């Protein structure tokens, strides 16, 4: 396996990781922003108030996005197993 092939695999893995993490991070960011605005409007400064809604909403997002995430991971693995077979 050449150096360029290894770099391509690592780059592809990084892109897949970012693609999988981005939706959950954006959901977390949106929920945190809404809760921060609520806290600023009501002057409730409780630090633990953001934790429960974020966990709940991210759990729902994970359930809804799980099929898409598994498809992305499956395509990544299949693509690289094919590459391994071509190098042998």
pTM of the model: 0.80
User: In sequence order, which ranges of the chain are alpha helices (DSSP H)?
Assistant: 3-42, 51-87
pLDDT in tens, 6-64: 898 899 999 999 999 999 999 999 999 999 899 889 888 787 888 888 999 999 999 99
Is 64:38 a contact under the CB 8 Å cutoff? Answer: no
């Amino acid at each position: 396996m050449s150096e360029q092939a290894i770099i391509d695999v690592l780059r592809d893995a990084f892109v897949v990781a970012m693609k999988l993490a981005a939706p959950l991070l954006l959901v977390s960011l949106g929920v945190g922003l809404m809760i921060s605005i609520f806290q600023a409007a009501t002057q409730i400064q409780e630090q633990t108030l953001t934790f429960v809604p974020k966990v709940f909403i991210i759990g729902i997002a994970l359930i809804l996005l799980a099929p898409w995430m598994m498809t992305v991971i499956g395509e990544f693995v299949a693509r690289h197993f094919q590459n391994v077979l071509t190098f042998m």
